[in-house]
Amino acid sequence: MHAPRRNSPRAGLWAMPTALALLLATGCGSGDGDPAPPSPSQSTGPSPTAPGERTMRQLAEERGKYMGVAVDADALGEESPYPRLAGEQFGMLTAENAMKWPQTERSPGSTSYEDADRVVDFAKRHRQRLRGHALTWNTHEPQWLSAQKFSDERIGELLREHVQDEAGRYKGAIYAWDVVNEPLTGKGTLKPGTLLDALGPDYIADSLRWAHQADPDARLYLNEFGAEGIGPKSDGLYRLAKSLKEKGVPLHGIGFESHFELGKVPKDMRQNMERFTALGLEVAVTELDVRMRTPATDDALERQAEDYASVIRTCLNVEKCVGVSFWNLHDGASHVPKKRPGWGAAHAYDAQYRPKPAREAVAEALTEEGG
Ligand code: XIL
């Protein structure tokens, strides 16, 4: 059940334990190398963060977790609240599209990292960490990869060059890479696509090994949707992760995307995460959103807040859940209605950057006792 809403999620900075406040202020970060939040002057545009408000970033770091968000490279340069919110409220960024293979290699061998670089620079300026997303995506590879009728061997070379080049370019800047994105069908079997068809199941282990060679300190993930609760798809993910670990393939984490429909956060999400952490893996909520039929009603927004809070509590309750990232920042920049017309209002801020009940519920869940 959702705990009753308290009225204090906006308690001031002064309420922070002194030692932590000092660490953040001096930029020393935690033992994990966590960066300190930026001073407001490092961001441009008006700030939607209320004076003295404790940010989700601070609240999560006090609990040993991170809060993250997927960002659009262009929007980070806007004179709007977007960069301020992204820079102040989150300690982890994911490039929504800028690091994907179709964006970074528009024709074979010709790379373009300008957009990705802008996201990396923004994160550096705001002392944020980065999730790299995503090196391979069997169904969303560059269009030229299948159009040009390459031999299977050449497809393998192009994949290796891409993984090594991109992971190598950002060596040291990335906390974790989604090395393999969405590898599975709903039944938990490997999803057909250019890479699987050309290279067989080994494209997964090979991609992880190449990424590890290129950036040995990055945490390497499989990232999947619809595998948050226990069922055929997450069973398949579990078998895949277990077999990779048994073969000594460098796999460190599982990303649960968590694109939910209102009221459908699986009750067994914690139990599911824990079977993966029992394999020696960390887990993360990598792409949280909770969609509803639009226009949104007040009642639906309250229920959405409960869904958001329950995901935060799940991560707090799983020791090796490292953090939660939102996909996207606000309702006006949402991927949801583009994909599912008639659905939306899925995010923690509305299209005018106002915090929604979900934003308040996240802050409350992060401050609850006994998580
Ligand atoms: C989405 C982006 O948000 C859209 O802008 C883009 O058109 C398609 O991809 N799972 C993922 C993300 O791993 O990369 C997807 O992002 C959303 C689903």
**Cβ atoms 55, 10 nearer than 8 A:** no
Q: Render pLDDT for 112-144 as a digit per residue (tens, 0 to 9).
A: 999 999 999 999 999 999 999 999 998 899 999
CA distances to 204, 234, 323, 328 from 254, rounded to whole Å, are 14, 11, 12, 20
Strands (E), 123-202: 129-137, 176-181
Task: Classify each residue of 221-254 as buried b or exposed e, where b means 16 or more C-beta atoms within 10 Å of its C-beta.
Answer: bbbbbbbbbbbebbbbbbebbbebeeeebbbbbb
Q: Which of 105, 182, 257, 306 is catalytic?
A: 182
Question: Quick one: which atom of ligand 1 is closest to the CA of 181?
Answer: 13
What is the CA(281)–ligand 1 centre distance, in A?
24
**Cβ atoms 335, 96 nearer than 8 A:** yes
Which token pair is 182?
Answer: 């969405």
Residue ID of nearest Cα to ligand 1 atom 15: 96
Whether the CA torsion 84, 88, 90, 93 is positive or negative: it is positive
DSSP labels, 313-325: HHHHHSTTEEEEE
Which token pair is 305?
Answer: 């807040």
Which token pair is 136?
Answer: 């391979």
pLDDT at 39: 41
Q: Which of 231, 230, 256 is nearest to 321 (CA)?
A: 256
Write out residues in the chain with pLDDT < 50, as ranges. 1-42
Count of alpha carbons within 13 angstroms of residue 311, beta-carbon side: 34
Question: Quick one: which atom of ligand 1 is closest to the CA of 286?
Answer: 13
pLDDT at 48: 72
Any ligand 1 atom below 6 A from CB of 257: yes
pLDDT at 49: 74
What is the CA(96)–ligand 1 centre distance, in A?
7
pLDDT at 46: 58
Any ligand 1 atom below 6 A from CB of 364: no
In degrees, rounded to 5, the angle at the alpha carbon of residue 231 between the alpha carbons of residues 230 and 232 is 145
The pTM is what?
A: 0.89
Which token pair is 282?
Answer: 């960390």
Check if 182 is active-site. yes
Q: Which of 88, 287, 306, 364 is catalytic?
A: 287
Any ligand 1 atom below 6 A from CB of 181: yes
Q: Ligand 1: which of 260, 327, 336, 339 to mutate, most ligand atoms within 8 Å of CB?
A: 327
CA distances to 22, 30, 46, 68, 69 from 80, rounded to whole Å, are 30, 31, 7, 19, 17
Q: Ligand 1: which of 335, 336, 338, 339 to mutate, most ligand atoms within 8 Å of CB?
A: 335
pLDDT at 50: 74
Any ligand 1 atom below 6 A from CB of 96: yes
